Amino acid sequence: MRHRYSILFFPLHVIVDFLSLNAAFIGAYGIKFGTIDPVFEPPYATLWWVFNLIWLVEILLFKPYIFPRQLFKADHLIKKMFVLMAVHMAVIALYWVAVKGYYYSREHLAITYGIFASLGIAFRIGGLIFLKEYRARGYNNRKYIVVGYGKLATTIRGFYDAHPEMGFHFYGYFDEPTTDTATLLRGGYDQLLDYVRINQIDCVYCCMPYIDNGRLKDIVDDAEEVDYQVKLLVDFRGFLARGASVEYHDILPVLNLSSQMLADFQVNTLKRGFDIAFSLGVLLFGAPVFLLMALITRLTSEGPVLYAQERIGRNGKPFRIYKFRSMYINAETNGPVLSAGNRDGRITSWGWFMRQTRLDELPQFFNVLKGDMSVVGPRPERQFFIDQIVEVAPEYRSLLKVKPGITSIGQIKFGYAANIEEMVQRLRYDLLYPERRSFLFDMWIIAQTVRVMVQGRGK
């Protein structure tokens, strides 16, 4: 029987956790009360049985010790343990209230969970270290082949080569040989089944772009007889990065290539709610600052306090963006021109200070309230410059799928751009946002923006 010792991992895991739980319960009682004899008598004996019963029910319901090798990692195992502990603590709390068990020591319970967590973490990390060494010596390994040669086939091999601790050993590629691939293949489809039998291959990865359904069906049909696993490799990476999702029409899986991420509840509702609340707070509590800046802008140079300009928003919709004026009037009489940085004589002295501290952007919170912009999002540009950017970097169009923002990764890491080349460089940062967008990521960007403002590092 292949890998006969692997079957022992599950019961061993269960036994060690039960031993750890009971040792923690008894040990905590001894630490708290200086003796362990009363723990075997009511009422603590009852609580002890309840502890074990709840943990057993959790194991039966959640099956926490069954996962593939790819998830057999310290962070995943420890996270799973803490989830089980949280559920266990919640149920114990309900039991405490139900039986009015105020005579139980809360300190004893806290020590119990502390010891149990320590033992559980130590066992899991120790077990992983042991497995890594055990597999490095050639034990508890899995043999795999890849059917259908191409870029995706080499990717899965590269993954397992980079993670030897998983214990997967590569035994060759199989495909119809061609002039270019003949030397790279272990064999063709005719030799596949015999090779699997002779070498006791555990897993056959089938790359869907390079194998037809007929051959795939034969491989699947033979799997039960020859005893190997079949796993499909489908290259969805380019789609999933854009927020694609899987829908089920009855039992038929359908890949939705529409950008689900851009239309989900969090983006449309929670993010908009935060934008409104944050903008109102800035406008209300920052009103004295707005008035002071308006006054200084008015006194330091001729012209209006605010500057309005057409920008392109989500889905290519134009809108008027507002800023405190940082340049002299008629700065673009000869057409659209980007700021030349320190060499730009169109910017006023007060305007330089506002740009370095990003205070000139504050009126854009009115744009946020109107719904044209968000607090966090890629900076909106003028159509004149978008046309030039797209010629160099067509991927810029993906940024038009999200609402533009007052601040962005590009503004933090790069700042203002003086030419198209620098705008493309800043674009590389902003392209990260649609893929990583979340509430916590927005908070991080806002915090970094405040730091730039306080340090006066805007450029």
Are 43 and 81 members of one domain?
yes
With respect to residue 246, please indicate whether it lies within any of the assigned structural domains.
no
Bridge partners, 204 (sequence order): 145, 230
Are 182 and 118 members of one domain?
no
Domain, as residue range, for 155: 142-235
Between CA 355 and CA 353 the distance in angstroms is 5
Residue bearing tokens 């397992």: 160
Cis peptide before 43 (omega within 30 of 0): yes
Bridge partners, 381 (sequence order): none
The phi, psi pair for 97, rounded to 5°, reads -65, -40
Q: Measure the CA angle with vertex 238, ends 179 and 438; round to 5°.
A: 155
From 88, 112, 136, the end of a domain falls on 136
Between CA 165 and CA 382 the distance in angstroms is 52
Are 41 and 181 members of one domain?
no
The token duo for 135 is 């597999």
Are 157 and 90 members of one domain?
no
With respect to residue 243, please indicate whether it lies within any of the assigned structural domains.
no
Between CA 30 and CA 39 the distance in angstroms is 9
Are 324 and 358 members of one domain?
yes
With respect to residue 242, please indicate whether it lies within any of the assigned structural domains.
no
Which amino acid type is present at position 383? Q
Between CA 165 and CA 160 the distance in angstroms is 9
Number of structural domains found in the chain: 3
Between CA 216 and CA 207 the distance in angstroms is 9
With respect to residue 244, please indicate whether it lies within any of the assigned structural domains.
no
With respect to residue 260, please indicate whether it lies within any of the assigned structural domains.
no
Q: Which of 85, 99, 79, 23 is nearest to 55 (CA)?
A: 85
CA 195 → CA 188, 198, 202, distances in Å? Answer: 10, 5, 12
The token duo for 275 is 């934008």
Between CA 34 and CA 227 the distance in angstroms is 56
Are 328 and 196 members of one domain?
no
Are 128 and 230 members of one domain?
no
CA 241 → CA 236, 238, 260, 373, distances in Å? Answer: 8, 6, 11, 23
The token duo for 227 is 């005893």
Beta carbons within 8 Å of 373's beta carbon, 6+ residues apart? 313, 319, 321, 364, 367, 380, 403, 404, 405, 406
Question: Tens digit of pLDDT per residue, the chain (459 long)?
Answer: 455 556 667 788 899 999 999 999 999 999 999 999 999 999 999 999 999 999 999 988 888 877 666 666 788 889 889 999 999 999 999 999 899 888 899 999 999 999 999 999 999 999 888 888 887 777 778 899 999 998 888 888 988 888 887 888 999 999 988 888 888 899 999 999 999 999 999 999 999 878 888 899 999 999 988 989 999 888 765 555 455 566 666 656 676 665 544 445 556 677 888 899 999 999 998 899 999 999 999 899 888 999 898 999 988 899 999 999 888 887 766 656 666 555 667 888 888 888 888 888 899 999 999 999 999 988 888 888 888 888 888 888 888 888 899 988 888 887 777 778 888 888 888 888 877 777 788 888 888 888 877 776 655
pTM for this model (two decimals):
0.46
The phi, psi pair for 146, rounded to 5°, reads -120, 125
- Within 13 Å of residue 23, how many CA atoms lie on the same side as its CB? 12
